[in-house]
Structure 1
Amino acid sequence: MNNAITTIAFDADDTLWINEPYFQEAEKQFCLLLEDYLPYHSVSQELFKTEMQNLPLYGYGVKGFMLCMVETICRISGNTAPSALIDKTIGIGHELLQKPIEVLEGVRETLESLKGKYRLIVATKGDLLDQERKLKNSGLQEYFHHIEIMSNKKESDYRKLLKHLDCRPEHFLMLGNSIKSDILPVLEIGGSAVHIPYHITWSHEQHSHHPEHDRFTKLQSMIEILDYL
């Protein structure tokens, strides 16, 4: 590992705490609500199509997901769905916004060990209020020098972050569960990246190939980063 690393950034959802299983459960509830209109798998496909169309407008997070569910209902039903169906869908979203925060195994111990040795930050996508709530309720906030809720995770977004942190790319390490968002853009700008897979990944974040790069590695759990460093 490059011993010039001074700043370590952590993705939040499905890297620090559980997230995607909650979204998949919410989607399951939603698809079951609309079975009178379309088969389950077709509803799921329609919802994903709506999410992809609206991603440039809504960004990532629960609120955009809620709006996409409502829009999907309107389209599938031809604007004939009863208001009770909309109410139930909003209820699914509200429940999602109030899920308990379950910190993943090894995260707290890792942060405790790294604290004081590196500048630790959170670099995550999502809705600002929701991510702030999750961070507060996780009990992990004290470990981080800086929290960055990003609208996206492309090369330009990471360059902007590094400029704000006054950090050169060769001193920067990103840890996350998404090859597409947490790994490839960081490697492209000259940083280092560690992939810590989670057993469930949102379709939009799935990426089948691992990069061949001397500044990239894959670990099976968060705690392994201590030996890697």
Structure 2
Amino acid sequence: MSAVRNPWLAAFGVVALVHLTLNAAGAQPWDSISKCLLAPLLAAWAVQQHAPRLLVAALALCFLGDLFLELDDLFIVGMAAFAGAHIAFITLFVQRGALTRLRARPAIVIVYVVIAIGMVAWCWGGLEPDLKPAIPVYAALLVGTACVSLAAGTRAGLGGALFLVSDGIIALSEAGRIDPDATATGLAIMALYIAAVFLLATGIVSHEHPADPSGLPRKASRRT
């Protein structure tokens, strides 16, 4: 189904636009509330489309990450939830043969690893001590998702790349390399994140359920 015809994707699009508007206006707590609706709407659509359970789990963990990041002193807990989401994404793509495809395209892995190392090095001096052990691990998971998502095609691969960029901006803002209070910073983070989860989810479903001649996704028999 197209985004226009599917109520869950249509609702996701509306909430995304509302959230970006509220984010730009600094309208709390509505900004936080709208943010926390994004992943559940995609998860509901994924369930409707008989998507792999790992995709639904990843989106549920994204919701928890969004929620915890909005609460005081729970940044690490939010990171842990998103780390779980990336583990779910990576597991799903690896099950679909991502590693075999990556062996034929090692340059992709090298490029992403170099980018991640550069970003961590840029952040390092400005990070709080309690974040320093977590950032390299989380960066590795981001790189993992970015690399293996290409196994599901260009759309999912672009989603993985945008996730890396979005969370990279968060790391740079936490390290004081970018102004965390600037409106442009918040908008960039959320616009990239929204695009990332949308492209990952729709890319996975399109890969699992190739469209038939009518343009509607077929239901796959396998769910993991």
TM-score by length of 1: 0.28
Which is higher, the Rg of structure 1 or of structure 2? 1
TM-score by length of 2: 0.28
Q: Higher strand fraction: Structure 1 or Structure 2?
A: 1
Which structure is richer in relative contact order (CA contacts within 8 A, separation 6 or more)?
1
Q: Higher helix fraction: Structure 1 or Structure 2?
A: 2
